[in-house]
Amino acid sequence: MSGARGRTMAGRIAMVSAAGGVAITVAVATGAGWTVERWGLAARGLGWIALAALVLARAASPVEGIAARVTARAARVPFGALRRAFGITSALAALVHAVLSASAFVAPAWVTLVTWPHLRFGLSALAILCALAVTSFASVLRVLRLRLWKPLHRASYAAGALALLHLLSAPAAPRVTVLALFGALLALRVVALVARRPTDATSVPEP
């Protein structure tokens, strides 16, 4: 699969996933009786879309490593483009989630954005995700003269950690579900690291 075709497919996958999630969120929110409930449901739905996209973005690399050890066809899958597409989707969904949450639950007590721990964690994660999304475009990198793209985008690990703290400290978040999701991602990375280790036959030199 060519690079351009792979990027196009990855972008479409991310857009369809985001659009489906937004459609479900709007449908559920429309059934609520009060306006504040609609805003709240939409905010939570978009928060879960942002989290799902972030997890998919972080899972792309370990899945790529595991797939490469299993089949040569893994090279045809545009994992890099998928990682980028889901990362941008996560940032956009998180941004809308933050705006809706602030309108439904925070306003006009804006001071709680810095006094409540889960809001501080969430805003910090959002800032990193937005920075990573903006610097995902080559034109932006050229304008900003940024050459260390990979070290910069390792900040996505910090965004994931802050998102986890945001959810664990949020009053109504399902902590068991959140821990299971991040635990599965961690297990996937461990399997990928094990798969990358050389076998005994390749690691021990012949006499």
**Any domain includes 171:** yes
71 occurs within a structural domain? yes
Helix axes 117-134, 79-101, angle to 10 degrees: 140
Q: Which band of pLDDT confidence, cut at 50, 70 and 90, is reported for residue 198?
A: low
pLDDT at 179: 92
Contact (CB, 8 A) for 32 and 162: no
Task: Give the lowest-confidence range in 26-30, 47-51, 131-135.
Answer: 26-30
Q: Tell me how far apart the 2 most distant CA atoms of the chain are, in Å.
A: 77
Q: Kindly tell me if the per-residue pLDDT of 186 is higher than 70.
A: yes
Give a yes or no: residue 203 inside a domain.
no
Asked whether residue 130 carries a pLDDT value surpassing 80, the answer given is yes
Number of domains into which the chain is organized: 1
Rounded-to-integer distance, Cα 156 and Cα 146, Å: 17
Judged on CB neighbours under 10 Å (0-12, 13-18, 19+), 14 is buried
Helices 155-169, 117-134: axis angle to 10 degrees equals 150
Q: Is residue 149 part of a domain?
A: yes
Residue range(s) defining the domain that contains residue 186: 3-197
What pLDDT sits at residue 34? 47
Question: What pLDDT shows up at residue 206?
Answer: 43
Q: Is residue 204 part of a domain?
A: no
- pTM listed for this prediction: 0.75
Segment 34-51 mean pLDDT: 77
Residue predicted with more confidence, 75 or 184: 184
Specify if 202 maps to a domain.
no
